[in-house]
Structures are given as C-alpha cells and as structure tokens.
Amino acid sequence: MAHPALAVGTSVVESVLRLPAPAQNAPPYCPLCFHVAFAKILETFHAYTLHECAGCGLQFWDPRKMPDARWYSAMYGERNERLLPLEPGHCFFLADQLAPRCGRLLDVGCGTGNFLLAANLAGYAVSGIELDTAAARLASYYCPRARVFPLPLESFRAHYPNQVFDVVSFFEVLEHQADPAAFLAEARACLRPRGFIALSVPNRNRWQTGLDALDYPPNHFLRWSPDSLVAVLKAQGFSIMSLQQEKVSLHYAAQQINSKLRLGVARSLAPEMPGWFRDEIQQDPEEKEQRNRAGLSLRTRAVQRLGRWKYAACFPLAAAALPFVRYQGQVGPYLYCLARKLD
C-alpha cells in the first residue's frame, strides 16, 4: 500500500466542539458525521476500542492520534528503496472513463512517486505531498517533472492558498486519518469548482481468513465499507461518479490461504523474528530503527526463506480455489472511488 503521510487540521470541524461530551463509558462520537456509535464494542486492541457509527456506518478506533513523520519513516522506510509497482487504486483511476484525462493533479501521500510518474505520463501536470522527507526526495528523483512538497496537507494549504487542482487523489491514505472530516475538508478546498477526488481505501468487506496486521492503530484508524464511504462523501459535498471493489486476485487468494495455514512454527524456530506489524507499531520508532539497522541473523533469514517457500506453495491451491471464491461473491482488499465536488 501507498505511504499514509498526512496530518490534518482542526479548525475546519469547529462544529464538533459544540457537541456535548459523551458521558463516561458512553460510546464515542463518529469522527465524520458526529453521530454517536453503537453501544457494542467491536474489538479491543491495547488501549484502543473499535466502534461503528450508528449514522454513516463507519467503523473507527478510539482514541485516535496520528504518529509523526519519524514514526512513518521507521515503520515504512524499507519501501523507500525503490519505485514500487502501481497499486490497484492507481490502475482503477487511470482506466476510469469518467475521470478527466488531463489537468492539474495533487497526489496526497505520494510515497516515492510511482503514481506521480504514471499520471504525468498519462497527461496530468502533477504535484505530490509526502510527509516522509526521504520518500519525498525519491519522488522528486523518479518524477522530476513533479512538484513534491514534504508538508502536511493543512501546511501546504497555508503556504500555497491559491493553488487549486482539477484532481486531488489520496490512495490508501484516508484510513490513516485521525480527523477524517478535517482531511476531506482540506482536500475539497484544494479543488477547483467541480473538481474531482480519487481515492482508495481497504475494503472492510473483503475476503479474509485471518486478522490483517496492518489494520490496527496507530496505522489504520478507520475501516470503510462501500456504503459508509458513499454516505460520508455525499455528506461532505461530493457526488459519487464511480465506485469499484477489487476482485479477488490469485496473489491475494494465496495470501489468504497462507494466513489460514499459519501455525506459529517460524516463531518457534526463530523467536527473534520481527513481530506482527500490529504489535510492532505500538513500540517506540527508535526501537524499530535500531532493529532495522541491526539486520537479521542467519537463522532468521533461513526461517524467512522457508516462509516464502510455504507462501509459493499456496499458489496452486489459490488457483484451484479462485473460481469458487469469486463465484461466492467475495471481493479483494481495495475499494476505489471517484467523486466530484458539488458547488
């Protein structure tokens, strides 16, 4: 997935300050439509609780506080070594017949610039925002025709208030936002009249055989379904142009089979192996940076290689299961949306 490198402002959602504080132990308010959540807690993880809004259906973790750039660099820094392949959300947008074919495009959370480069080659004048300064430098290197700003979105708007765009994109970014209402308001303010937003988020309705280690705070704060995404964007002043759920791919099917066959053998053979990402992200980023610098032992690398062989062995099983999985109507992990600003 793309780098989630954005923070948000607070002033654009002053209305929430007028809401009465929920009673002690009462469900929290939704960070987007400000309805109270259902009383049932869906999941508990460390100090966080997962809730579902009774109004828009968004699932959100409470409390929410976005990490700083240093945290993202420590947790995602290994992605800064190369230009990654395009993600499904990028491909959906570039193939979307309802999207504009040219114009000024701002990609929020642009990572090392894979989508900036592809969009520029497709005819867009591109700019990017990326909080991770190392990734921002690489984005400028890989796509020299792009303007890349190592700033949070609200700081970009403060520094360049007259910059407006035909398209603002944020692929695999919205689920990371502690204050999604503020983020969407800032993105909307960057658009010209009748401009477009293009985005993708993890689809919480996706086929899963186990827990997704990425889908926990402080990495992900929000879990989106097609219905909740449509409801939220309409309430934020957008008209939905297209909405697509990714099909289950062979690669994703193999991942899910591999997850189902996880027995903990690798951990018993090499206890020093890095922990699950959802547990690592609870730690201080300095500890993660130290482990990254220290590298892995020969034993751990051997166990990891065995794990890759096990994963490769899942592909024949996935190929056999894929027609049945699709027949059941199961969907893949990406949810793409193109929406237009209403003015």
If pLDDT is split at 50, 70 and 90, which confidence band does 8 have?
very low
201 and 311 both lie in a single domain: no
Q: What angle do helix axes 133-142 and 114-121 make, rounded to 10 degrees?
A: 30
Range scoring the smallest mean pLDDT among 182-191, 224-233, 271-280: 271-280
If pLDDT is split at 50, 70 and 90, which confidence band does 317 have?
very high
What's the confidence (pLDDT) of residue 66?
87
Q: What is the pTM of this model?
A: 0.86
- Report yes or no on 31 lying in a domain: no
- Please choose, from the candidates 154, 226, 180, 220, the residue with its C-alpha nearest in 3D space to the C-alpha of residue 29: 180
If pLDDT is split at 50, 70 and 90, which confidence band does 102 have?
very high
Range scoring the smallest mean pLDDT among 50-64, 119-133, 229-243, 265-279: 265-279
If pLDDT is split at 50, 70 and 90, which confidence band does 13 have?
very low
- Answer yes or no: is pLDDT of 93 > 90: yes
Gap between the terminal Cα atoms of the chain = 32
- Report yes or no on 61 lying in a domain: no
Mean pLDDT calculated for residue range 291-313 = 77
What's the confidence (pLDDT) of residue 35?
94
- DSSP H stretches of helix in the chain: 69-76, 88-95, 114-121, 133-142, 153-159, 180-189, 226-235, 250-260, 265-269, 277-280, 285-294, 298-327
Residue 65, φ and ψ in degrees, nearest 5? -145, 115
Token digits of residue 307: 């794990």
Q: For tokens 């992990």, what's the residue? A: 333
Three-class secondary structure of residue 18 per DSSP = helix
Q: How many angstroms separate the CA atoms of 316 and 140, rounded?
A: 40
Residue 282 domain boundaries: 251-327
- Report yes or no on 57 lying in a domain: no
85 and 207 both lie in a single domain: yes
DSSP symbol at 55: T
Give the CATH number of the domain where residue 196 resides: 3.40.50.150
240 and 306 both lie in a single domain: no
Range scoring the smallest mean pLDDT among 167-171, 270-274, 303-307, 322-326: 270-274
97 and 129 both lie in a single domain: yes
146 and 185 both lie in a single domain: yes
255 and 209 both lie in a single domain: no
Point out which residues pair with 148 in neighbouring strands.
128
Three-class secondary structure of residue 74 per DSSP = helix
- Report yes or no on 262 lying in a domain: yes
What's the confidence (pLDDT) of residue 75?
74
Number of domains observed in the structure of the chain: 2
- Report yes or no on 21 lying in a domain: no
267 and 242 both lie in a single domain: no
Mean pLDDT calculated for residue range 323-343 = 96
268 and 243 both lie in a single domain: no
Mean pLDDT calculated for residue range 232-241 = 96
205 and 256 both lie in a single domain: no
User: Maximum distance among all alpha carbons in the chain?
Assistant: 60
Token digits of residue 55: 């109004």
- Answer yes or no: is pLDDT of 25 > 90: no
Sheet with 43-45, side-by-side order of all strands: 43-45, 48-52, 59-62, 222-223
112 touches 79 (CB < 8 A): yes
Question: Exposed (0-12), middle (13-18) or buried (19+): which is 311, by Cβ within 10 Å?
Answer: middle
173 and 293 both lie in a single domain: no
312 touches 168 (CB < 8 A): no
If pLDDT is split at 50, 70 and 90, which confidence band does 7 have?
very low
- Report yes or no on 59 lying in a domain: no
Average pLDDT, the chain: 87
Q: For tokens 């947008």, what's the residue? A: 93
Point out which residues pair with 8 in neighbouring strands.
none
163 and 302 both lie in a single domain: no
- Report yes or no on 64 lying in a domain: no
Mean pLDDT calculated for residue range 165-192 = 96
231 and 271 both lie in a single domain: no
- Report yes or no on 144 lying in a domain: yes
- Answer yes or no: is pLDDT of 290 > 80: no
